[in-house]
Amino acid sequence: MTIRNARIIADPQAGLWLDELHWQDGAIVDAPADTEAPKGEALDCGGDLVVPGLIDLHTDALEGRLMPRPGVDWPGRAAMLAHDSDVIGAGVTTTFNAVAIGTSSRKPERLALIEPFVQAVQSARADRVLRADHRLHFRCEVTDPLMPTTLEALLERVHPDAMSIMDHAPGKRQVRDIEDMVQWMVARRGETVDQARIFAADFVRESEENGAARSVLVAEHARRLNISLATHDDETAEHIAFAKTIGAHYAEFPVTRVAAEAAVSSGLPATMGAPNVVRGQSSGGNADARALIHDGLVAALLSDYVPSSQLHAVARLIDEGMEAARAVSLVTDGPAGIAGLDDRGKLLPGKRADFVRLSLQGGIAQVKGVWVAGQLVFGAPQP
């Protein structure tokens, strides 16, 4: 099969562009000697942009599909199919679905989501009803005393594709002011100020007394399983040094420029949230992703909580003057390299024929077609 009359970013990191693409049996192939494709097999893309299928190393979106409102459970298969539509419609062909192993103070109901979450992903994959390649990412909360046993019980029967280490204790990282957490608990959970402060103090104690040891435990599991490991919300150079010591592969969502610079200087790729780029700011008042990207401190953008944010982030960066291939690399071969996915992320011979046809206008991306392993799974085949 062939597409023609397209602006194809075949190798984003190298800046390689093509004007036609050929694939067979689910993989990209060299142009045939006879370049005249049989009628009906060549698709004229009308000058649209074609990029490798997006790779998302962290999305929380499935949790929202499984529990659309607090205390409201949704059928797992229905949630998974809806989530798959969200992902494919956003041009994402490989996604790592993140589930919290252990509870944070803000969303304790996540503990009850673990089993339906894992079951939804695994059963849908087994039944081959999904269009995107859905993988599991275990987010391990080291402040939760139940996390180690919960994780170990899961690992007896589930092989995740990635893990990350979270520490949501107030006073550092994502919540640097303890009083912010106290006021949040008072306003959102009905706690008294004294109750909230007791809870926050216990949270801090768990982090200080057990956070490091539990982080090492998670790292040991990731090493044994030979999967990628991320640290989460790093704030300081010391956080990055610890991440390197325990064998992390990348720093996920560093909250300060200091942490991002320390990660890059130590050889640890840094990834940022695509919503930060789309909105022009962090939802938590943290580092500006666009500034870090322009300074060469970001290897990949992750959707975090909005599946469509990756492509829209790319569109905004291009609209603001970034070279298109460089922007596209942040959501294709950038994350592929971090996750060790050597078979995708570029549209070169031998790679998976995962690609997206789209148009860009005013900093917004419109997906017109998505192919997975050479099969059209979203959009119409003709312009």
Residue 286: predicted pLDDT: 86
What type of residue is 299? A
Beta bridge partners of 3: 21, 43
For the chain, give the number of residues. Answer: 383
Residue 217: predicted pLDDT: 97
Provide the strand spans (E) within 82-159.
Answer: 92-101, 133-141
Mean pLDDT of 120-128: 98
Q: Residue 81 has which token pair?
A: 């199919």
For strand 54-59 and strand 162-166, is the pairing parallel, antiparallel, or unpaired?
unpaired
User: In which band, very low, low, confident or very high, does the pLDDT at 331 lie, cut at 50, 70 and 90?
Assistant: very high
Beta bridge partners of 378: 370
pLDDT tens, 242-300? 999 999 999 999 999 999 999 999 999 999 999 999 999 887 778 999 999 999 999 99
Q: Residue 172 above 80 pLDDT?
A: no
Question: Considering the chain, what percentage of its residues have pLDDT values greater than 90?
Answer: 78
Q: Which range has the worst mean pLDDT, 65-69, 88-92, 176-180? A: 176-180
User: In which band, very low, low, confident or very high, does the pLDDT at 186 lie, cut at 50, 70 and 90?
Assistant: confident
Question: Considering the chain, what percentage of its residues have pLDDT values greater than 70?
Answer: 94
Query: Do 66 and 25 meet the contact criterion of CB atoms below 8 Å apart?
Result: no
Q: Residue 61 above 90 pLDDT?
A: yes
Give the Cα separation of 94 and 176 in Å (integer): 33
Residue 179: predicted pLDDT: 73
Give the Cα separation of 97 and 82 in Å (integer): 14
Q: Residue 382 above 70 pLDDT?
A: no
**pTM, full prediction:** 0.93
For strand 250-252 and strand 228-232, is the pairing parallel, antiparallel, or unpaired?
parallel
Domains and CATH numbers, the chain: 1-52+344-383 (2.30.40.10), 54-342 (3.20.20.140)
Query: Do 263 and 234 meet the contact criterion of CB atoms below 8 Å apart?
Result: yes
Give the Cα separation of 202 and 16 in Å (integer): 53
CB atoms closer than 10 angstroms to residue 106: 14
Higher pLDDT pick, 191 / 112: 112
